[in-house]
Structure 1
Amino acid sequence: MASFAPTRRRLIGSGLAALATLALAPRRALAAIERIGFDDLYGKISVLGLSFSDKAKALTGRSVEMQGFMAPPLKAEAKFFVLTEIPMSLCPFCSSDADWPANIVVVYLKEAQTFEQANKVIDVSGRFEIGSWTDPETGFVSLVRIVDARFRTV
């Protein structure tokens, strides 16, 4: 019997480790943040307008991370800004979603943060949303948003 004890301990130990791994796996999957880029937003851009890509549709409502540049905000105390693919010196807000550029995303912050200079690369993380939406406070119209967001300089 004594010769089986180390083997039995190894089996029990490895079995417990496997169970712990399985128990933690769903939590890891829920906490995963998907990366999305500006090239991933639209499947088709034509004279008829923009159509969202399959990836953008699949990520709707999920946690994402996106990298870009902060466009100059309209005012210092705003809790939102525009994320752009390239640095901009002017704010790219549009009058309607029909004029919406394909390389910007509106970011609504979870809490106010100090804005960065427009030439610094930032990472933004938050919940991804697509579809035409008008902000009730500002009247700005957007097609793509990251909400409950945070950002950091890269």
Structure 2
Amino acid sequence: MTEETRRFFNRRRVLGALAALPLLSLSRPALAEETLGFEELYKSFGVLGLEFSDKVKRLNGQDVTVKGFMAPPLKAEANFFVLTEIPMSLCPFCSSDADWPDNIVVVYLARKQTFVQFNAPIEAQGVLEYGSWIDPETGFVSQLRLREAAFNTV
């Protein structure tokens, strides 16, 4: 092989590797710049119940990352799950918003992902929304959710 041929293949390999770099980001979503901890979700229990924190209000509509645990899904093909502060072996989310626990977030996935064990720590990233909302497909009520979300085990 001539010196020119070696340079050509080296340059080709380098260019191919550079072209593949953007594809690597598809395997794991980038984490949002803002993180939100369960202790930051609410600021008080007022006369009307839970009051969202100023941070939740400020981050509404923005990409956030929340660390927690996946509660067992109600069905295998669900496009959502409940993110909990601590591992839970049962779904905490099957009641009205009056009984809404202060340590869960509903996560609506942008695409189907394989669910993980309830005691495996994960990071969920998505667009934060707050306020009472009823899912028209399931009838479930949520107070706090991530939309267009994805998750990774940590």
TM range (shorter): 0.7 to 0.9
Greater gyration radius: 1
Other-structure match for 1:111? 111
Q: Is the 1:80–1:107 contact (alpha carbons within 8 Å) kept by the matching residues of 2? A: yes
Pairwise CA RMSD of aligned residues?
Answer: 1.3
- Report how many aligned residue pairs link the two structures: 124
TM-score of the superposition, structure 1-length normalised?
Answer: 0.78
Deviation per CA, 1:70-93: give whole Å up to 9, x if none.
000000100000000000010111
Deviation per CA, 1:28-61: give whole Å up to 9, x if none.
xxx9620001111101025631000000000000
Instruction: Determine the C-alpha separation between the residues in 2 that align with 1:71 and 1:32.
Output: 22
Deviates more, 1:39-48 or 1:135-144: 39-48
**Alignment CA distance shift 1:126-1:73 (3 Å):** same
Unmatched 5+ stretches in structure 1: 1-30
Unmatched 5+ stretches in structure 2: 1-30
**Alignment CA distance shift 1:73-1:32 (3 Å):** closer
Q: Is the 1:94–1:100 contact (alpha carbons within 8 Å) kept by the matching residues of 2? A: no
SS in 2 for 1:86: coil
